Structure 1
Amino acid sequence: MRTAILALVIGMLLIRWLPALPTSPWLWGLGLGGLVLLPLRLYPLGCLLLGFTWACLSAQMALDDRLSADLDGRTLWLQGRVVGLPDAREGVVRFEVADAESRRAMLPSLIRVAWYDAPLVRAGETWRLAVRLRQPQGGVNPQSFDYEAWLLAQRIGATGTVKSGQRLAAADGASTWRDQLRARLLAVDAFGREGALAALVLGDGSGLSTADWRVLQDTGTVHLLVISGQHIGLLAGLLYGLVAGLARWGLWPRALPWLPCACLLALTGALTYGALAGFEVPVQRACVMVALALLWRWRFRHLGVTLPLLLALLVVLSLEPLAVLQPGFWLSFGAVALLVLIFSGRLGVWRWWQSLGRAQWAMTLGLLPLMVALGLPVSFSGPLANLLAVPWVGLLVVPLALLGTLLLPIPGVGESILWLAGGLLALLFHGLTLLAAAVPAWLSVDLPVMAWLALALGVFMLLLPGGVPLRGLGLALILPLAFWPVSRPPVGQAEVWVLDVGQGLAVLVRTREHALLYDAGPRFGEFDTGERIVLPSLRQLGVRHLDRLVISHADNDHAGGAVAVAHGLRVGDVVSGEPQKLSAELAAQPCEANAWSWDQVVFRTWRWDGARDGNQASCVVLVEAGGERIWLTGDIDVVAEQALLDSGLPLAARWLLAPHHGSRTSSSAALLDAVQPQAVLVSRGRHNAFGHPHPEVLERFRVRDISVQDTALQGAIRVDLGTFGAAQGWREQRRFWREK
């Protein structure tokens, strides 16, 4: 039985690494092959094929429900119902529309939209909306949140921006009372931690700021403020323990068997908490795991501890195979497996504080390979933070938050209890903030497969019981991770990365021993691409220090992320075409005509002294490696381009970063004829409001046989300067969720 379940699970897990889904004939063939093998001795292979077939079919159904290409970028009127809790912050309301209908086209069953300056939108309402629709797409970089994978895992078939709307029907359904309850929670005076209380009670994290999430991430405590298996399991455990304690003390009615009653009460509590959290996929996963664990405790303890875990995996993946695209799936099941490994092999009885300390040590060390594989930051302060925060939140804050929520109908009582819970959360965040400042999270460089396997083996050896021979060798397998060599270009060459930051610009130029960042991407309210995209990508590429940060000019799409980058990395010189308009924290110096060499790679900067606006004042950089050149041009326009032509600098270059993202007022015929590039690099957002790159500019490129490399289509673009090779788009690394 275990073998069959394990084979089914492995088959469904495999889709996580597929570059493309098999075609229908292949799928039918694999499914029939699995059925044929079931009665034979090769039944494990048959189960694996069946699991794989089901996962692929489910993923294909999600892909087929995406917005068609001919509707991409079009504005349509549609009608649908608001599901989930709308996320309103900084003047933007984001929510999902289910069962959307339009008289002009077939639409996906679930659409995620953003509405700027929106009226009040409630869960459960029916709206008629004018939406500019887009196919699901996000930035693709060496290291950043994979938005496209997240959208597919949520089975969201389109995104869009609302232009106008009309409410057709008032809120109804189960989500309505959750929205009303959230409003009650956010109205409570809880030391400014009302949003955190809503996250704990309802699973709604919209009330937590970016700074809050950063603190939680740096201290490895994100799981505490997101309703997960820990919260569901804790409540179930408390209810189970209550009945078990009453039975032990002789206070439970003898006519009622205490064990099934304890299991039933615990399951009821878990399902109720899940209903509060909206039964989203992580909560469903937690409820399934709790239900199977309780069933095992009641009837099947003789079958061992691994069976509930395997059954939970099977049920979760059977219901939603695309859960494998979410890091939380791997971390939650990995954490449970680690706890089984640690506590099932122990000898003697540990005190509660020993068990808690051992669990935190196991979580930090045991999840390290998973965190590295998923590209997630690793918190070395996590063991200490969780040692204090887990009982603080689990035994104090969560019970008080749930009790206060339950007693809200009684005037003054519920609010007082929530006030106390908020005070405890405020104290916790204060301590976590100090710890995060002292020990920030660490992000590993990209490891080869063999190095990662050595790391995983080393961790496994260290987690084995103390008496196992050669256990200490695991440390030798882990230590190289801290000193793993970073891939660097050879002397005389440069690695140029045009990062995918949407409608903005961020370019990394790295030589053998030095690194320069040209612009740092935009910042939109709390969404800072410098922090969310640029910094993680630089760290993944092994950049720990910037010798020079060049901010072409002060426009937000170029300078918005600069402060976040300066906070996250050691930065040497900061140079800009508009230093006086940048944050004083950067201490930027004016861009002047200058030339220098790093590792036999030559850099030149230039700025037009006669500039009349910020775009014309852009600091321009020329990079030359091994006779191959690239121009980084900021937002200069036709007038500044002519000044550059008159500057006397060597103009011919193989690569040209399209000035001003390919706007109509830039990339003049004179500049293209003088530079004679073989390719231009365009950094822009898909369906941007400015129409970049302009059709006239694209026509100029076409008639001169200049190829266009576009971040909106190719993701981050890498050029190995000095090799005269072709550009590489990060989106070329195929994933099945990027097929359409």
Structure 2
Amino acid sequence: MLALALGLLALRWLPALAPGAGLLAMLVLALMLLPFRTYPLAFFLVGLSWACISAQWALDDRLQPALDGQTRWVEGRVIGLPQKTGTGVRFELADSRSRNARLPKRIRVSWHAGPAVNSGERWRLALTLKRPAGLLNFHGFDYEAWLLAQRIGATATVKDGERLAPARNAWRDAVRQRLMAVDAQGREAGLAALVLGDGSGLAPEDWQVLQGTGTVHLLVISGQHIGLLAGLLYGLIALLARYGCWPRTWPWLPWACGLAFTGALGYGLLAGFGVPVQRACVMVGLVLLWRLRFRHLGVWWPLLLALNGVLVLEPLASLQPGFWLSFAAVAVLVLAFSGRLGPWSVWQAWTRPQWLIAIGLFPILLALGLPISLSAPVANLFAVPWISLVVLPLALLGTLLLWVPLAGDGLLWLAGGALDGLFKGLTLLAVRLPAWIPAEVPLGYWLVSLAGAVILLLPKGLPFRLLGWPMLLLAVFPPRESIPHGQVDVVQLDVGQGQALILRTRHHTLLYDAGPRAGPVDLGARVVLPALKKLGVGQLDMMLLSHADADHAGGAAAVARGLSVKRVVGGETEGLPRFLDTQPCASGERWEWDGVSFELWQWAGAIDGNPRSCVLQVEANGERLLLTGDIDRAAEQAFLASPLAVPTDWLQAPHHGSRSSSSWPFLQRLAPTSVLISRGRSNAYGHPHPQVMARYRALGSRVYDSAEQGAVSLRLGAFQAPTVARSQRRFWREPLP
């Protein structure tokens, strides 16, 4: 069983899938090993083969490259619960058909300013199709892996559409609409998340509070909710049997296990029976089976069986952080509660699990690159019983009685009030103890931290148990990479159609542009700030905003709220938040950090907008980098008269490679060896323009494009080749062009 699990989990780290012949050879080898009783190796190969086969099916179901970017009329059925966004609606389309084209089974569709879309409806839509892709940074969220784990083969935007058939069997959507229509004291969206697993209605501020306090699992249906309902039903029948209120002719234990599992399945059906819910139902079913028939097998065997059951049903589940967190949490609780010589008191049973889970999940969260909530043990200490014993029973019972006048509405009103009170308390806690984003931890330090966590979870009588604390906390203070004197680390982040570059010398950090913001989507908060913290940056010596356009300065406010910034300099001070206290770009200003020289330039004749971009030249050991913002041809012509117009090793392509920039005289003078382009994939502006790319090729410049290669990292002053994020091979990523 353990070997099978390891084979299934190995998929997560494969750089590429084995070809068909290789898979066949592994299966044949596994069958040949069985007669020799080498079961571990045989089952490892079986698990790995099945995982590769399942993953290959998902990859084969992706949109064909020839259809990428094309607009086609597509017919399909809306599945799941459509999600309302700030500007439209997002939903998934299944059973898609298009003339003379094979489409993926599932397509994720966004409709800007679209009409109401309900689950179960059939639509005919003009879709602009795109292959699965997303922002790719060294330590960021991998959207491409998430899409594959959901078996979504394409994304699309709607140009036009018409409804072909009304919804059929869309009872979940009807329940959601009914929930959103009741008066739940402003917490209707929270109840919909709790009952149906639909968190799309939660405000960004609510998500921040939940993430900051480590209580996301309480509002998004997880194993805890399924297990809680099953436990309540089981406990109710056990209580009735104990006090003689259960029929003596009915054996209480089989009935308790059967009704508990039925309740878990019913709740799972209400929640849409997605992969996390399937995982929870499998685990609950195995626990109940163990309780009924196989208690002599111990507690670890059912957990291992549940792990294998989930992975056999969906091998791609290992690509999702929730998979690792849920099984790790259960394993921590099993380790904490089993093998103890005496029972815990009620106070110990209430408080200890939260602290033990915090210790046990600490190295897991580090490995997954997720924020770590410092207030989670305290928050969950009160939030878990409040949700479990008050909010959830009221919400489920109110939902069941929605069709009874006053009864359902009244119960949901009480549930909403209880949930609102919890959110107010969590908000105060999140403000006082915000989530911590740790810096990247070397593998050796992480392994020591993991060993420390395991030691601390063992019983108190273990000798040298207290050594677990310094071992665990070793990951809190990892060694920071020492940048040599006279060199600077440069990272161009992948922020889509925008720009953000991090420059770090030995003791100083500068941020050039802060990424875009469009409505509720702030990549300064989602990408730039986490990237800075992952690099161990605790303070910015300077945030230099080339100009005030939203794609360059939109994320500045989020960065300034999350980090201390000593100085803010901008090519334009108008249009930026006043609390940034922005200083104007002083052309000719020059300074030196740790042996690296920096100098600013701005066109004095610029009036506003792109031509006013503040240009920064960085020189380290004779290797030069020029960051140009969005200057146009006129500004480039003026730049040629400045002392900075000298041969340059690295050039940030002006205005994302726009046709209005990168003029031939400008490029001839600079003669860049390499060019950095930051832009969005398939952007509406056509960046970079083919004529500009032809000029770069004519000069022999190497082009590093964030849309194709993801984030780029280089060591200026070392004259070394850069590292691109897409070079970190994973089987779900398309190879470098």
Tell me, what secondary structure is at the counterpart of 1:160? strand
Partner letter of residue 43 of structure 1? Y
Aligned mates of 1:700, 1:191 — CA distance in 2? 61
Residue pairs, 1:25-424, within 5 angstroms:
25-173=21-169, 176-424=170-418
1:716 aligns with 2:711: yes
Summarize deviations over 1:597-654 as a string: whole Å, max 9, x none: 1111111112222213311111111111111111111111111111111233343210
Tell me, what secondary structure is at the counterpart of 2:626? strand
Match of 1:547 in 2: 541
Residue pairs, 1:327-726, within 5 angstroms:
327-593=321-587, 594-726=589-721
Tell me, what secondary structure is at the counterpart of 2:659? coil
Aligned mates of 2:565, 2:35 — CA distance in 1? 65
Q: Check conservation: 2:442, 2:478, Cα contact below 8 A.
A: no
Shift of 1:656: 0.5
Q: 1:727 aligns with which of 722, 729, 734?
A: 722
Shift of 1:250: 0.4
Q: Check conservation: 1:547, 1:572, Cα contact below 8 A.
A: yes
Partner letter of residue 124 of structure 2? R
Aligned mates of 1:655, 1:711 — CA distance in 2? 15
Aligned mates of 2:698, 2:647 — CA distance in 1? 18
TM-score, normalising length: structure 1: 0.98
Structure 1, 607-616 or 643-652: larger mean CA deviation:
643-652
Partner letter of residue 660 of structure 2? T
Summarize deviations over 1:136-165 as a string: whole Å, max 9, x none: 011111222110110000000111111111
Shift of 1:185: 1.1
Partner letter of residue 90 of structure 2? R
Aligned mates of 2:153, 2:571 — CA distance in 1? 42
Shift of 1:480: 2.0
Summarize deviations over 1:422-478 as a string: whole Å, max 9, x none: 111111111111111111111222222221111111110111000111211212212
Shift of 1:171: 0.7
Aligned mates of 1:726, 1:74 — CA distance in 2? 35
Aligned mates of 1:7, 1:144 — CA distance in 2? 31
Tell me, what secondary structure is at the counterpart of 1:411? coil
Aligned mates of 1:134, 1:165 — CA distance in 2? 18
**Pairwise CA RMSD of aligned residues?**
1.1
Structure 1, 556-565 or 187-196: larger mean CA deviation:
187-196
Partner letter of residue 732 of structure 1? S
Shift of 1:411: 2.0
Shift of 1:68: 1.3
Aligned mates of 1:190, 1:737 — CA distance in 2? 42
Shift of 1:356: 2.0
Shift of 1:351: 2.6
Shift of 1:39: 2.8
Shift of 1:120: 1.0
Q: Check conservation: 2:448, 2:474, Cα contact below 8 A.
A: no
TM-score, normalising length: structure 2: 0.98
Structure 1, 374-383 or 242-251: larger mean CA deviation:
374-383
Q: Check conservation: 1:615, 1:636, Cα contact below 8 A.
A: yes
Structure 1, 10-19 or 431-440: larger mean CA deviation:
431-440
Total equivalences in the alignment? 734
Structure 1, 35-44 or 589-598: larger mean CA deviation:
35-44
Shift of 1:523: 1.3
Partner letter of residue 661 of structure 2? S
Partner letter of residue 256 of structure 2? A
Tell me, what secondary structure is at the counterpart of 1:738? coil
Tell me, what secondary structure is at the counterpart of 2:282? helix
Q: Structure 2, unaligned stretches of length 5 or more?
A: none
Q: Structure 1, unaligned stretches of length 5 or more?
A: none
Q: Check conservation: 2:639, 2:645, Cα contact below 8 A.
A: no
Partner letter of residue 126 of structure 2? A
Shift of 1:407: 1.2
Summarize deviations over 1:712-732 as a string: whole Å, max 9, x none: 011000121001111221111
Partner letter of residue 690 of structure 2? P
Q: Check conservation: 1:142, 1:541, Cα contact below 8 A.
A: no
Aligned mates of 2:206, 2:247 — CA distance in 1? 47
Aligned mates of 1:380, 1:346 — CA distance in 2? 28
Summarize deviations over 1:197-218 as a string: whole Å, max 9, x none: 1000000010112221111111
Structure 1, 346-355 or 72-81: larger mean CA deviation:
346-355
Aligned mates of 1:17, 1:397 — CA distance in 2? 40
Summarize deviations over 1:237-296 as a string: whole Å, max 9, x none: 000000000000000000101001101111111111101100010000001100111111
Shift of 1:353: 2.8
Aligned mates of 2:104, 2:403 — CA distance in 1? 40
Structure 1, 347-356 or 371-380: larger mean CA deviation:
347-356
Q: Check conservation: 2:12, 2:319, Cα contact below 8 A.
A: yes
Shift of 1:312: 0.6
Aligned mates of 2:647, 2:723 — CA distance in 1? 22
Q: Check conservation: 1:142, 1:540, Cα contact below 8 A.
A: no
Aligned mates of 1:739, 1:56 — CA distance in 2? 16
Aligned mates of 1:485, 1:583 — CA distance in 2? 35
How high is the sequence identity, in percent, across the aligned residues? 61
Shift of 1:676: 0.9
Aligned mates of 1:353, 1:666 — CA distance in 2? 68
Q: Check conservation: 1:20, 1:739, Cα contact below 8 A.
A: no
Q: Check conservation: 1:112, 1:158, Cα contact below 8 A.
A: yes
Tell me, what secondary structure is at the counterpart of 1:59? helix
Q: Check conservation: 1:74, 1:132, Cα contact below 8 A.
A: yes
Tell me, what secondary structure is at the counterpart of 2:611? coil
Shift of 1:501: 0.4
Q: Check conservation: 1:334, 1:367, Cα contact below 8 A.
A: yes
Summarize deviations over 1:171-229 as a string: whole Å, max 9, x none: 113xx111111111112222221111100000001011222111111111111111000
Consecutive aligned runs of 4 or more in structure 1 exceeding 6 Å deviation: none
Q: Check conservation: 2:82, 2:117, Cα contact below 8 A.
A: yes
Aligned mates of 2:545, 2:191 — CA distance in 1? 40
Partner letter of residue 684 of structure 1? R
Aligned mates of 1:193, 1:610 — CA distance in 2? 54
Aligned mates of 1:189, 1:696 — CA distance in 2? 59
Aligned mates of 1:352, 1:417 — CA distance in 2? 29
Partner letter of residue 250 of structure 2? L
